[in-house]
Amino acid sequence: MLQVIIASIGYAGGVAIDKILLCKAKIGIKVFIPMLFVLLAGTTAFLLPRFGAVNWHALNTRYLLIFLLLIVVVVIWNKFYYIGIKKESLHELELIMLLSPLATIIFAMIFLPSERNIGVFIAGVVASVAFIVSRLRRHHIRLSQTAKGTILAMLLLSFESILIKELLNVFSPVALYFFRTLLVAVVFYFIYRPRLKDVPFKFTGLLIISACFGVLQMVLKYYGFQQLGVIETTMVLLLGPFLVYAFSFFYLKEKTNNKRDIACALVVVSCIIYSTMVK
């Protein structure tokens, strides 16, 4: 469970850096996405010798088709997701992506027989709804063309979790993430044909840090899917924003009167504890 909590922190750090690179540094989407995936694959490659196991004997046609579908899904959702990061404000993007945990839990209940525990499903829905309600406040979603693309990205990201869970029967989390990012990097390279000189040298370090955050988040998330299941991992990932909130309150002494966040954090934690008891 600690691995999944660290993964949620990795996600937050990655989003912040990506926003800086795409908006402040003004790196174009057609350069940013391919270069990021090359760095993701390269970073993950260092983990392969120790953690990159693959059950080649079990890798049949069914798993290959699932993997190909995974690549298509990942290419589409990443394209629209990073367009959303570049063109939408972060709070508008966040409001749409808030629906991802709920969509993931529903997909898991439909497509994964091993996840069909009604108690865990209800706990996941309650935790997701509580999280959405805590974040809505006075914000609203503008359904611009970019926002519609972000909604598609959110749905495909959620569906990707189901494909990952299936493929983890054959691949270790590190091996699956490596082959996923490598193939997606190749696809984006041939689509966009980026040039390395289009990335300002002074921002190369930030791009590498973003890749490190991405590997940290996704590999640990995959381990969560493998060890805890999709629904429980999704619930634990909801703790990330509240860990940041607790850090700012207790360590940075940032005062707040927002009782809604505290109430929601208690609901999410209660749902996680309940889901471990009913399994």
pLDDT confidence of residue 162:
94
Calculate the CA dihedral of residues 276, 229, 78, 40 and round it to 10 degrees.
100
Measured in degrees and rounded to the nearest 5, phi and psi for residue 54 equal: -135, 130
Per-state percent for the chain, helix, strand, coil, to nearest 5 = 80, 0, 15
| 87 lies in some domain | yes
At residue 151 the predicted structure's pLDDT band, cuts being 50, 70 and 90, is: confident
Check pLDDT > 80 for residue 169: yes
Range among 73-87, 119-133, 177-191, 231-245 with highest mean pLDDT value: 177-191
| 235 lies in some domain | no
| 125 lies in some domain | no
pLDDT confidence of residue 199:
65
pLDDT confidence of residue 253:
55
| 127 lies in some domain | no
| 25 lies in some domain | yes
* Residue 56 structural domain: 2-117+139-226
| 253 lies in some domain | no
At residue 94 the predicted structure's pLDDT band, cuts being 50, 70 and 90, is: low
pLDDT confidence of residue 261:
63
At residue 256 the predicted structure's pLDDT band, cuts being 50, 70 and 90, is: low
| 273 lies in some domain | no
Q: How far apart are CA 256 and CA 102, in angstroms?
A: 27
Check pLDDT > 50 for residue 252: no
Q: What is the mean pLDDT of the chain?
A: 79
Domain count, the chain: 1
Check pLDDT > 50 for residue 238: yes
Q: How far apart are CA 16 and CA 206, in angstroms?
A: 11
At residue 53 the predicted structure's pLDDT band, cuts being 50, 70 and 90, is: very high
Can you tell me the mean pLDDT for 11-17?
67
| 242 lies in some domain | no
Check pLDDT > 50 for residue 51: yes
Check pLDDT > 60 for residue 142: no
176 or 114: whose pLDDT is higher?
Answer: 176
The helix/strand/coil state of 54 is strand
